[in-house]
Chain A
Amino acid sequence: MATEKNLKHDELIHIGPEMAVAEADVLPVETGRFVHGTSLWGDAWRRLLKNKLAVFGLVVVVIVTISSIVGPTLIKRVFGFTPDYIPSHDPRLTQSFPPFTGPGGEFSWAHPMGTDNAGRDQLARVLQGGQISLFVGILSTFVSLLIGVSYGAIAGYVGGRVDNVMMRVVDVLYSLPYVIVVIVLLSMFRSQTPRGQLILLFIAIGSVSWLTMARIVRGQVLSLKNQEFVLAARATGVSNTRIIFRHLVPNTLGPLIVYATLTIPQIMLTEAFLSFLGFGVQAPLASWGSLASDGIQNIAIFPWQLIFPGVTMALTLFSLNFLGDGLRDALDPQMRRV
């Protein structure tokens, strides 16, 4: 009976995702099975698998990733064309064919997604586009993770005026037309090589997305740093840097993973629209965005040029978003669902 007053409402039972309600005494307490908000990985994995949509998302993402990686090589083996192969030896072939159609209008397995104006195989291009889009997405996310986590963790841990200043900077940067400046950057420093342009793209995009990451990490660190294990670490003389990176950061992993999974599609969208406008990936490399841009030119007569890259991209983003949502539910049922 004396136990009542010591338990605060938010510490009490979370029987399941839909049960994480405010009034703890409306629902009975589970004996000895006090499940806290952040659960262990095994539990989380199980919960994720129960979510059919998330599993669907995971499967699609895996399929797309694998196809993008091995696809172009496979196509080369089977059909002989690379993404930028132009059959210039035969003028009949340097035009845009609809899906599954050969030069004479007959059915052909050669081009399941049709060809573009120069006769290049669309499937190979879409897959290569996938390579680049996913590559940029994941790598940029990683970069912004690095920057964001360090920045946020330091701000949160040090606290006080330093934290104030650091977060002010973030606030100001957040409300700026970052992307606009990025466009200026990209247009001014057009690289001569497609590779170079890619690198520029990484820098540009990565520097846009670290802001929210920093905010999230800072929030987590702030709430964690007053907990006992930090006190213990300090008491035993662990250096501050170690505390930040070895103790606090791993505990913020939950929301971080969720946010990272949701950032990848955002970044992919950013890259796509930059490439669409002409500032991103350059020919002969193709990303989904640049393919869409090419495709729009002829949308009236050759709609498949836009539709295939467009739908593929939408499908991938869709799956990534579902996966992210599912991860969020699995890792912390209490987190705000958006």
Chain B
Amino acid sequence: MQQNEFFTSRWGLILSTLGIAVGTGNIWRFSRVVAQNGGGSFLIPWVIFLLVWSIPLIIAEFALGKSTRLSPIGAIGKTAGKNFAWMGAFITFVSTAIMFYYSVVAGWCIRYFVSAFSGDLFNTANHLNYWQQFSESGMPVFFHLVAMVIGGFVIYKGVVKGIEKANRYLVSSLLIILIVLLIRAVTLPNAIEGIKYLFTPKLEFILDYKVWLNALTQNAWDTGAGWGLIMTYAIYMKKKEDIALNAALIGFGNNSVSLIAGITIFSTVFALSSTDAMMQISQSGPANTGLTFIYLPLLFSKMSDSILVNTIFASLFFMALSFAALTSLFSMIELATKTTMDFGLSRKKSILIVASAGFILGIPSALNMKFFINQDWVWGVGLIISGAFISFALIKYGVDKFRTNIINGFGSDIKIGKWYNIIITYLVPIEVTVLLLWWLISSTTWDPEWWNPFHTENLGTCLAQWLIVLSLFIMLNKTFVKNVLKNEN
């Protein structure tokens, strides 16, 4: 398939791809998971898994997109063989199912930015009540619509005028805002206690296998590796563009942002919390919203005696969060749009279908927190299977051939050695198996009726929804091949 639109420069590509990787997970999930897993003890495996999960899979995604110029259905079908196009469809579906509720999350962030900017957020002393009143009303549907309209408009404008331009402004602004917040946070009295907690390792935690599994999960969910999103943006990279160096920059850049956000949140909470700081950071709250939407607004109101200063910093925080959510949402909308385009539709028609479907299918998550939690659970764990399918495609093609001809092929700035073969062939499949078994077996312990597919968060609901989607896609494999791979030999 002839590709006509490309990112104008390496920096445009890097900022756009960083926009995928940096999402709300860097800002609110990272701090909570670090707090629950012993601070510094968590950071050591977290760095190790950046090297043996995230970066190798980001490299694979860049290479699959650049070499095939097709969305995941075509890319996996062309690389692993036509019998496996359904795996690409599964990868696409998982990220699209996440898009439905992630747009709701982006809407929450926009709503809180508006509230902080207008001063409304500080008109209440009870932030739990403020959150409940918002989340139980119809307002999340309106802000979900706002997020989907913004995302749809950016994708409608295309790669250069839409994705690249928006990410250049939003990701650059996000990084600047985070650094401003970091400087403010570390200069608060007692902030050093938070930083100390963040970096102090505890032996009992390092020896706990759960800390290692949580570190791997954070890398799997937070970097965007294995989602098919980077693969989609890589379709638009120029032939002379490098793969390995850009992938490494995205992986390290993403985890750097997590670290900046972590230092900011730990410093702020330890400096301003009048009660147990650790309990406040590690509390989940409904759909893991506790720290961000309930506790941090309270802390921002106590940041200084000046309401103006507090308003500015709260607005900056929620603006950063909105930018992080939107730039990730763009990539999810683009993945679904590009897939539809691969079936022969124009960008205009595709975006209309995707944005409308995205809005309608996101409404249940906007209105019902149990539905939201169910979808987050089922497709969040489903992402691990997506990572396995990408690894499988490379193994089927021949990892050494893939590395030599594609990753180290035309345009490569740095060459990847044979260590890559070992990681993709052995380590990633082991990581996938252990992680899947751990999550699924754990889920049987927190629900006595673990087999019941109508429960919110258990093994039964995962298996039921995965099996329906996988069976459907396996049956439709010939249709995928006929439509998406019709021009390929």
User: Is B one of A's binding partners?
Assistant: no
Binding site for B on A (CB under 8 A): none
Binding site for A on B (CB under 8 A): none
